Amino acid sequence: MTSLWLQSLLEWAFRQTYLTIQFFMLAGFLAALPRVLRHQRKQRQRARIHAHRLHALQQSRTAARVIHADSATQEPFNPYSN
């Protein structure tokens, strides 16, 4: 009895065009959701790695500037000076 009622309910619902469209759109969105979440997680991970690399590059450039500036202020070694 319940199965006949459910079958008739589903048959009626799928004859309604807007209900059918909404059902399949919802099913499509739910099917795509794991892929979208996985893509967002990978993008965040790539952005984090990029930020770490950029920070390391900036640190190395800053260190190189400091070393270069120190070497520019020092006078060259002269073995004959007192």
pLDDT surpasses 90 at 42: yes
Q: State the residue range of the domain holding 19.
A: 2-70
Please give the span between the terminal C-alpha atoms of the chain, in angstroms, as a whole number. Answer: 112
Q: What is the mean pLDDT of residues 53-61?
A: 85
Does some domain include residue 79? no
- Which residue type, as a one-letter code, is found at position 51? A
The verdict on pTM exceeding 0.75 is no
Helix 17-73, helix 2-15: angle, nearest 10: 70
Does some domain include residue 77? no
Domain count for the chain: 1
d(CA 43, CA 82): 62
pLDDT surpasses 60 at 73: no
pLDDT, residue 5, reads 87
Does some domain include residue 76? no
Q: What is the mean pLDDT of residues 7-29?
A: 85
Does some domain include residue 81? no
d(CA 34, CA 40): 10
Does some domain include residue 66? yes
Does some domain include residue 27? yes
Does some domain include residue 52? yes
